[in-house]
C-alpha cells in the first residue's frame, strides 16, 4: 500500500477479511482449491482507490458545456447533433466535447467484435428476463448508502418515479444489445450509452456537493468501482443465476458477456485500474463487496427497495387486459425480488407476499429448459427464439411506456 491508497470508511473490506468466520472460510477454500475467494491485495486496493474515481473526460465536457455559458438545453442539442451526424456537424464544438468524442469513437485494440456481438445476442435471447433479474438483483445493494443516497437524492428510482426510471434503464438495455449496436457509428445503442454517461456525470457532481454526501465514508457517487459492479451484474451474475430459472448460459457465453460488458462499460466511461477479465475474478470482486457491506442506507434504502415491486402494481382506474397485465407484472417481479434478494435482507423490508405466485417460475422451468435444449440441438431454432424474445421485450416495453419516450435526463434539481 502507498500513501495515495485509500478506502472509504463505510466500505470495511480490510476489517471484513479479518473476521474469524471469513478468514476461516478463506483458508479452507485455499487448501481445497489452491485459489483465493478474494482478489489479490493489489487488486483489492485498486478497487478501493477507484471508489474515489469518476469520469474526468466526460466531467470536463459537462462542466464546460452543460454548466457553462452554453447551458444544459443547448448542450443536449449539441450532443444529439454530434451523435447523429458526427462531431464535425457541431459548429465551434468546444475542445472538451471533441476530446470526449475522440475517446468515445475510438475502438480500443482489445475489442473483439465477434465476442461483443455474441454477448449482445445473449441479452437479446434472455428477453424481458434480463429486466426482471437486473431489477431484482439490484435491490440487494440498496442497503448501502454509497448506492442508495445518489438514487434517493436524484429521485428517479424512488416512490412514484421508480417505474419510469426503471423503464428508461430497460430502453438502455434494449438499445445497447441490438445487433451491431455498440460498434456501429450513429447507432441508437451508442447514442444511449453516451447519454447515460453524461447523465451519470450530472448526478455525480450534484450529489458529491450535497451536504448529505460524505466522501470520506463513501468515495465518489457513481464511482468507477460501482460502475464496474453493474457490468458484473449484467454478465456473470445473470449468466449463473438464471440457470435456476432454466436459462442455460455456458462458460464460453459468460466469457462473451464479460467482453460485451467491458466494451459497453468503456462507452459509459468505465476506466477501472483493475478490471476482472474472467468469471472467477468477477466473483472475487463480488465477494469483496459482500464482506464490505455496511447496511447503512436506512430510510433511503427502504424507500428504494420497497418502491420497486410496488411500481408494477395495477393503477387505479385501469381495467380489463391492462389491469391483468399490470397484476401479472407486479406478482412476477415480486417473486423475482424474493428469489434474488438474500432472505435476511428481504425480511427487513415491507415486501409483497409471493405465495402462490412463487409457483409460476417453478411451472415454467420445464418449458424454458425444453426451449433451451431445443435451441441448442435443433439447427435454426436459436434464431427463432431470439426473434421471438426480441419482439416480446419491445412489445412489453412499449406497453409499459404508453407512448412516452425515454429521456435519459438528470439535469433537474435534486429532490431535497
pLDDT digits (tens, 9 = 90+) for 133-160: 999 999 999 999 999 999 999 876 666 6
Average pLDDT for residues 166-172, to the nearest whole number? 94
What end-to-end distance do the CA atoms of the chain give, in Å? 38
How far, CA to CA in Å, does 128 sit from each of 119, 244, 323?
16, 16, 19
- Mean per-residue pLDDT for 219-233? 98
What percent of the chain has a predicted confidence (pLDDT) above 90?
90
What value does the mean pLDDT take over residues 36-56? 98
Which cell numbers in the block locate residue 323?
389491469
Q: On the CB side of 232, how many CA atoms lie within 13 Å of its CA?
A: 23
Q: Band of the pLDDT at 317, cuts 50, 70, 90?
A: confident
Main-chain phi, psi angles of 17, to 5 degrees: -75, -10
3-class SS of residue 60: helix
Confidence of residue 161 (pLDDT cuts 50, 70, 90): confident
Q: Indicate the pTM of the whole model.
A: 0.95
In percent, how much of the chain has pLDDT > 70? Answer: 97
pLDDT value at position 26? Answer: 97
Confidence of residue 414 (pLDDT cuts 50, 70, 90): confident
Each residue of 67-93: b (16+ CB within 10 Å) or e? eeeeebeebbebbeebbeeebeebeeb
Average pLDDT, the chain: 95
Least confident of 157-166, 304-313, 357-366, 390-399: 157-166
Which of 105-119, 270-284, 287-301, 311-325 shows the lowest per-residue confidence on average (mean pLDDT)?
Answer: 311-325
DSSP annotation of 413:
P
Kindly state the average pLDDT of the residues 42-60. 98
* Alpha-carbon span 173 to 131, nearest angstrom: 8
Angstrom distance (rounded) from CA 288 to CA 294: 13
Nearest-angstrom CA–CA distance, 298 and 314:
27
Q: Sorting pLDDT into bands at 50, 70 and 90, what band is 162? A: confident
What is the pLDDT at residue 316?
A: 84
The CA-atom distances, in angstroms, between 82 and each of 78, 194, 297, 360, 374 are 6, 11, 39, 46, 44
Q: Is the pLDDT reported for residue 121 higher than 80?
A: yes
Residue 195 has pLDDT above 90, yes or no: yes
The sign one gets for the Cα dihedral 199, 296, 337, 225 is positive
Given a cut of 90, whether residue 362 has pLDDT beyond it is yes
Q: Please, are residues 291 and 22 in contact by the beta-carbon 8 Å criterion? A: yes
Query: What pLDDT is attached to residue 157?
Result: 67
100 has a pLDDT exceeding 70 = yes
| CA gap 104, 320 in Å, rounded | 46
Amino acid at each position: 500500500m502507498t500513501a495515495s491508497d485509500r478506502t472509504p470508511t463505510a466500505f470495511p473490506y480490510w476489517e471484513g477479511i479479518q473476521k474469524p468466520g471469513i478468514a476461516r472460510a478463506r483458508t479452507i477454500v485455499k487448501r481445497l482449491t489452491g485459489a483465493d475467494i478474494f482478489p489479490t491485495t493489489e487488486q483489492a486496493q485498486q478497487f478501493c482507490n477507484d471508489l474515489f474515481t469518476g469520469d474526468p473526460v466526460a466531467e470536463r465536457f459537462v462542466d464546460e458545456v452543460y454548466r457553462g455559458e452554453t447551458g444544459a438545453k443547448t448542450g443536449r442539442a449539441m450532443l444529439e447533433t454530434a451523435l447523429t451526424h458526427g462531431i464535425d456537424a457541431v459548429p465551434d464544438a468546444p475542445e472538451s466535447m471533441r476530446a470526449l468524442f475522440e475517446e468515445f469513437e475510438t475502438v480500443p485494440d482489445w475489442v473483439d467484435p465477434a465476442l461483443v456481438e455474441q454477448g449482445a445476442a445473449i441479452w437479446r435471447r434472455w428477453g424481458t428476463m434480463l429486466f426482471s433479474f437486473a431489477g431484482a438483483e439490484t435491490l440487494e445493494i440498496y442497503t448501502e448508502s454509497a448506492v442508495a443516497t445518489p438514487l434517493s437524492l436524484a429521485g428517479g428510482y424512488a416512490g412514484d418515479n421508480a417505474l419510469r426510471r426503471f423503464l428508461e434503464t430497460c430502453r438502455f438495455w434494449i438499445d445497447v444489445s441490438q445487433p451491431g449496436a455498440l460498434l456501429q457509428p450513429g447507432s441508437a445503442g451508442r447514442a444511449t450509452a453516451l447519454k447515460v454517461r453524461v447523465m451519470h456525470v450530472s448526478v455525480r457532481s450534484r450529489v458529491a456537493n450535497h451536504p448529505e454526501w460524505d466522501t470520506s465514508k463513501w468515495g465518489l457517487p457513481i464511482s468507477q468501482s460501482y460502475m464496474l459492479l453493474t457490468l458484473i451484474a449484467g454478465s456473470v451474475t445473470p449468466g449463473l443465476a438464471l440457470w435456476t430459472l432454466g436459462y442455460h448460459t455456458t462458460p464460453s457465453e459468460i466469457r462473451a458477456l464479460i467482453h460485451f460488458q467491458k466494451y459497453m462499460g468503456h462507452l459509459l466511461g468505465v476506466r477501472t485500474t483493475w478490471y476482472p477479465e474472467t468469471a472467477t475474478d468477477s466473483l472475487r470482486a463480488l465477494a469483496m463487496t459482500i464482506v464490505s457491506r455496511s447496511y447503512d442506507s436506512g430510510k433511503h434504502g427502504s424507500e428504494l427497495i420497497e418502491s420497486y415491486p410496488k411500481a408494477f402494481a395495477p393503477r387505479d382506474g385501469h381495467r380489463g387486459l391492462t389491469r391483468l397485465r399490470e397484476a401479472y407484472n407486479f406478482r412476477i417481479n415480486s417473486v423475482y425480488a424474493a428469489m434474488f434478494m438474500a432472505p435476511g435482507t428481504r425480511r427487513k423490508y415491507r415486501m409483497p407476499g409471493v405465495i402462490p405466485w412463487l409457483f409460476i417460475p417453478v411451472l415454467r422451468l420445464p418449458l424454458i429448459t425444453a426451449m433451451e435444449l431445443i435451441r441448442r440441438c435443433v439447427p435454426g431454432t436459436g434464431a427463432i427464439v431470439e426473434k421471438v424474445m426480441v419482439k416480446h421485450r419491445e412489445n412489453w416495453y412499449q406497453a409499459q411506456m404508453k407512448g412516452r419516450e425515454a429521456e435519459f435526463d438528470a439535469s433537474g434539481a435534486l429532490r431535497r
